[in-house]
Amino acid sequence: MKLVILDRDGVINEESRDFIRSPDDLHPIEGSLEAIARFTRAGVHVAVATNQSGLARGYFDIDTLNRIHAFLSSRAAAVGGRIDVIAFCPHGPDAGCACRKPEPGLLRSLADRFSVHLQSVPFVGDSLRDLYAAERAGARPVLVRTGNGNEVARALPPAFSSVPIYPDLLAASEALLSP
């Protein structure tokens, strides 16, 4: 595995109904930064694919989003992890763009950036839109029970019955990195 793609909210940091509007609102889920460090130590590139409609809604500006992502990257680095890139969709839910998950645009752009075929790339998410984005892009969907994951796991559509489900990102990293 050369690349792993992670959703941000609900996978790396706590989900927030009020949006992550500043670095102070970012609260990493226990073990998530250590999971990123595990991937890094194994030589796996870590990318994040995240919908950020708060930009379109005017909840924060691009400079604030960049500060949030710099803070997240620095927190990962403090435990030995590296986030190579954070790709985001800045559009609102009704924009009809190709980059807003469940559309596959973000994942495809990451595949191009890292020159990989997505069929070997896990995309770890906590929502149905993450699973659909992975499926549409040809990546390997992985579900964690953090964030919205418990609710999603209880009502998983039959098409996703074989998707691996882990308690959190740390458990997913252990499974994905095991031989």
Nearest to 6 by CA among 178, 170, 179: 170
pTM assigned to the model: 0.97
Kindly give the confidence (pLDDT) of every residue in the chain, 179 residues in length, as a single tens digit, with 9 standing for 90 and above.
799 999 999 999 999 989 999 999 999 999 999 999 999 999 999 999 999 999 999 999 999 999 999 999 999 999 999 999 999 999 999 999 999 999 999 999 999 999 999 999 999 999 999 999 999 999 999 999 999 999 999 999 999 999 999 999 999 999 999 98
Counting Cα atoms < 13 Å in the Cβ hemisphere of 160 gives 26
First to last CA, the chain: 11
Domains along the chain with CATH numbers = 3-177 (3.40.50.1000)
Nearest to 116 by CA among 3, 39, 40: 3
DSSP bridge pairs for 88? 50
The Cα 146–Cα 154 span in angstroms is: 13
Catalytic residue among 7, 126, 130, 168: 7
The reply to whether 63 belongs to the active site is no
Burial class of residue 118, CB neighbours in 10 A (0-12, 13-18, 19+) = buried
The reply to whether 9 belongs to the active site is yes
Tokens of 12: 């790396």
The Cα 33–Cα 158 span in angstroms is: 31
